[in-house]
């Protein structure tokens, strides 16, 4: 709250004073690796914006299709359905595997970060 109050106060001359260059506490190489990973995750997250709504719709349309199977009269229609589902499995498996692989690594990084935090404190 105190800091918020200070932000609303007029900026003083002291606030505006620039520092000399500072040696970052962390190495630049580490920061660059953090940025690189963050940017790659962002690229995927931005691309997912396109997928978010269609992906939510797919289970519903698949459920409708599933309930339709019992009403099918012609075998060629079943051929078409099978091909479409096989294509879907190929695409969705690729998405799933890529996502699972990244997600597992994220868990490992969180565990490693926690361990490092404990080490730094001890």
Partner 1 sequence: MAEATIPTFMRGKDKIMSLSDAVKTFIKPGTCICPGGFSYTKKPFALAREVIRQDIGNLFVTMNGGASICEFWCAAGLVKLLDTTYIGLEGIQPVAYSVRRSIQDGTVDVEDYSNYGFGLRTVAGRYGWPFAPCMSELGTSFMLHDTFAKMGLRGKKADGSWIHPSIPPARAVVIEDPFDGWGLRPHAFEGGDGTSNQTNALEKVREATAYTGNKGVKVVLVPPILPEVTIILSQRVGEKGTTRIEGIWGPDNEQAISAKYCIVQAEKIVKEEELRAQPYSNTIAMQYIDAIVEQPYGGFPGQVPYYYDYDWDFWRAYTQVNRKDKAEVNKYIRNWVMEDEWTFLATRPGDGYPTISGTKGLERLFELRADAMFGYKPGLARPL
Q: Give the interface with partner 1 as residue ranges (CB under 8 A).
A: 3-4, 6-8, 11, 15-19, 21-22, 24, 26, 28, 31-32, 34-36, 38-40, 42-43, 45-46, 48-49
Instruction: Find the shortest distance in angstroms from Cβ 108 to partner 1.
Output: 21
43 versus 78: smaller Cβ distance to partner 1: 43
How many C-beta atoms surround the C-beta of residue 37 within 10 A?
Answer: 13
Q: What is the total residue count of the chain?
A: 122
Handedness of CA 42, 43, 44, 49 (dihedral sign): positive
Q: How far is the CB of 87 from partner 1 (least distance, A)?
A: 17
Asked whether 41 and 35 are in contact (CB, 8 A), the reply is: no
Question: What's the closest the beta carbon of residue 31 comes to partner 1, in angstroms?
Answer: 5
**CA atoms 30, 32, 33, 35: torsion sign:** positive
> Closer CB to partner 1, residue 27 or residue 93?
27
């Amino acid at each position: 709250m105190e800091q918020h109050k200070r932000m609303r106060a007029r900026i003083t001359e002291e606030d505006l004073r620039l520092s000399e260059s500072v040696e970052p506490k962390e190495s630049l190489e580490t920061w660059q690796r953090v940025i690189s990973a963050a940017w790659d995750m962002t690229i995927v997250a931005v691309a997912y914006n396109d997928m978010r709504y269609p992906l939510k719709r797919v289970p519903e349309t698949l459920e409708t299709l599933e309930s339709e199977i019992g009403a099918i009269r012609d075998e060629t229609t079943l051929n078409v359905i099978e091909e479409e589902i096989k294509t879907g499995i190929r695409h969705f498996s690729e998405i799933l595997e890529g996502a699972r692989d990244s997600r597992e690594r994220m868990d490992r990084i969180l565990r490693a970060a926690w361990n490092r935090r404990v080490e730094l404190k001890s």
